[in-house]
Amino acid sequence: MTEKLRVMGERVAQLESYKQLCERRIAELDPHQAFPLHLSHIGKRPQALEHADLMHTKLNDLQSQVHQVGDYKRRLQLADESLRRETLANEEQRAYI
């Protein structure tokens, strides 16, 4: 009986140590997680993931805007080059007349 109690005590100590390790890891992944954990916590998205999703969406929006600006810049350069060629042609015609 004493041996059984000793083994159970060691097992409880191991489980407590593992519990602390798990809680530290969970806290790394979601610093806002409340302890102790409850069944009501299961299935909820951590705030950090919600924030990451929001930042990802904003990043995609910014990348889209950067591409639009690049397109506008290319169009402006084409229009500028076309205007220069037309101006040069007009000046040549004026000089010819």
Encode pLDDT of 75-84 as tens digits: 999 999 999 9
Number of domains present in the structure of the chain: 2
Q: Is 75 exposed, middle or buried (0-12, 13-18, 19+ CB in 10 A)?
A: exposed
Do 29 and 58 fall into the same domain? no
Do 25 and 38 fall into the same domain? yes
pLDDT digits (tens, 9 = 90+) for 82-93: 999 999 999 988
Give the structural domain span for 73: 45-97
- Assign 3-class secondary structure to 24-83: HHHHHHCCCCCCCCCHHHCCCCCHHHHHHHHHHHHHHHHHHHHHHHHHHHHHHHHHHHHH
* pLDDT at 44 exceeding the cut of 80: no
* pLDDT at 48 exceeding the cut of 80: no
Do 83 and 65 fall into the same domain? yes
Whole-number Å distance between alpha carbons of 51 and 29:
13
Which pTM does this prediction carry? 0.44
Do 39 and 49 fall into the same domain? no
